[in-house]
Amino acid sequence: MKEQTLVGSILLVDHSRGALLFQETILRRRDMQIMTALAGSDGLTKARMEKPNLIIFGYDLFDMSAPEFCREIRSDDETRAISLLLVCDRASSEHGDLCLSAGCNDVIFRPLQKPDLDQKVERLTRIPVRRQLRTITKIEISLEKNGRFVLARSVNISSSGMLVEVDRMLPQDGPVRLHFYLPADPKPLQVLAEILRAEFSGSMPKYGMRFLDPTEEDRERIMRYVHRLRSREAI
């Protein structure tokens, strides 16, 4: 019988053994190593040692709160790039807001629904393969989400998406609308995008975004801009 090759790992942290067992049962079919911890301090130790792709955790972590746990993960260079998913009750949605402000990537509510959990785990553990030609560039962006606007700046851009840096944590559920101008192009761009991943390796969080609805004209404008910058970089 061929031995199964594991392609990553998930750390589950909760003070309840029952909750850990239930989550482990749901996630067991994935080709990933599943680890558990019954306290926040134990979870921090395992996160630093094992570097999991994702940590799924409850709000009560026995010896610390979930926001404290998030801040510890994000403040450590060894762990700050790990994705974080909070499990909490819908009646306690303020717990989710506190954790998102402390660096959590996303929230899922009890009772856990397997399709919803699968979708969030897939998104938070996915490492997109970058096939599109892209270039490093700094473009000022107005990022619109849920009727609110946040200023951001691009790190790089391709015809299919961009990496942006923001001075605050962004919830990753639902699309965002990006408003920006390409340098030397007087016509504004407005593109709907989804957040594929978050990076916390620098002074500000960075979010990898995939364009959802660019027109063919907009895609061509971005592609021409990328090729123009790339040709300059090659000189």
Q: Is 194 left (phi over 0), alpha (psi -120 to 50) or beta?
A: beta
Q: Give this prediction's pTM.
A: 0.62
Q: Are residues 61 and 105 in the same domain?
A: yes
Structural domain of residue 115, as residue ranges? 9-125
The last residue of a domain, from among 97, 125, 153: 125
In-domain check, residue 115? yes
- Structural element, H or E, at residue 11: strand 9-13
pLDDT-derived band at 49, boundaries 50, 70, 90: very high
In-domain check, residue 141? yes
Residue whose C-alpha is closest to residue 11's, from 41, 37, 29:
37
Q: Are residues 149 and 64 in the same domain?
A: no
Based on the structure, what is the number of domains in the chain? 2
Residue whose C-alpha is closest to residue 97's, from 128, 133, 70:
70
Residue whose C-alpha is closest to residue 42's, from 23, 21, 68, 61:
61
Distance CA 106, CA 110 (A): 14
Q: Are residues 102 and 150 in the same domain?
A: no
Q: Are residues 60 and 94 in the same domain?
A: yes
Tokens 């989710």 sit on residue: 96
In-domain check, residue 1? no
Q: What is the DSSP string of 68-109?
A: HHHHHHHH-TTTTTSEEEEEEEGGGHHHHHHHHHTT--EEEE
Tokens 């009750």 sit on residue: 89
Cβ atoms within 10 Å of 142's Cβ, excluding its own: 14
Tens-digit pLDDT profile for residues 189-207: 999 999 887 777 667 888 8
Tens-digit pLDDT profile for residues 101-150: 788 888 999 888 888 898 889 888 874 444 456 678 899 999 998 888 99
Q: Are residues 34 and 142 in the same domain?
A: no
Q: Are residues 110 and 144 in the same domain?
A: no
In-domain check, residue 4? no
Distance CA 93, CA 111 (A): 13
Q: Are residues 18 and 121 in the same domain?
A: yes
In-domain check, residue 187? yes
